[in-house]
Amino acid sequence: MSTAPRSTDDRATAFDLALASTWPVAMFVGVVTTVIGVMVVAWPDGTLKVLSVLFGIQLLLFGLFRLIGAFSSDTAAPGLVGFIGVIGMMAGVVVIRNPFEAVAVLATVLGLVWVVGGSIELISSIADSSMRDRGLVAFGAVVTIVAGIVVLAWPGPTVTVIAWIAGIYLVVFGLMICYTALRLRRLES
């Protein structure tokens, strides 16, 4: 028996052969990802509404579990935990009843985060003379600030554009997964 270590090519081939048995799963994931991407591009408002409702359900469940947890004997601050649970449930109901307004609120929060984060980066790049690639960091910060201002000025249309970008990304990513699945299938033969 040889005690020589296996080459990198041998390990890569063994890894590829192990993955080859999963090509149908990869193809399924690729097709589903591509279809979801096409749906997001074709119906961005509907997709955002569905995501908003799912987020509302998640908030509702989060609140319910917090409320139940408030009655647990080992809860440190049951009043606070119960209050957070009730607030979470109320927020969930509001989001489910008004999904488009919830998307606009989330876009507004995103815009604020971008403006504040970009401002901090810009100030840091100006104040820190030893920063590497200061100009590039400052440029990125300005782009982030401008993007945040655009989102704050037009939250609804901006979210739709973000949905389109996400949909296109999903289509490309799904097609890449399908291509990988076909390559895995070839390894199996």
Share of the chain above pLDDT 90, in %: 12
The residue ranking higher by pLDDT, 75 or 157, is: 157
* Residue 172 tokens, joined: 């490309």
Asked if 133 and 141 count as a contact pair (C-beta separation under 8 A), the reply is no
Torsional class of 133: left (φ above 0), alpha (ψ -120 to 50), beta (otherwise):
left
| DSSP E strand stretches across the chain | none
57-76 average pLDDT score: 83
Closest listed residue to residue 178, CA positions, set 39, 38, 32, 40? 32
53-74 average pLDDT score: 84
Residue with tokens 């947890």: 69
Q: What is the pLDDT of residues 85-140, one digit of tens each?
A: 899 899 888 888 888 777 777 778 778 888 998 899 899 889 888 887 888 889 98
Least reliable range by pLDDT among 9-18, 104-113, 171-180: 9-18
* Residue 25 tokens, joined: 């799963």
Q: How confident is the model at residue 34 (pLDDT cuts 50, 70, 90)?
A: very high
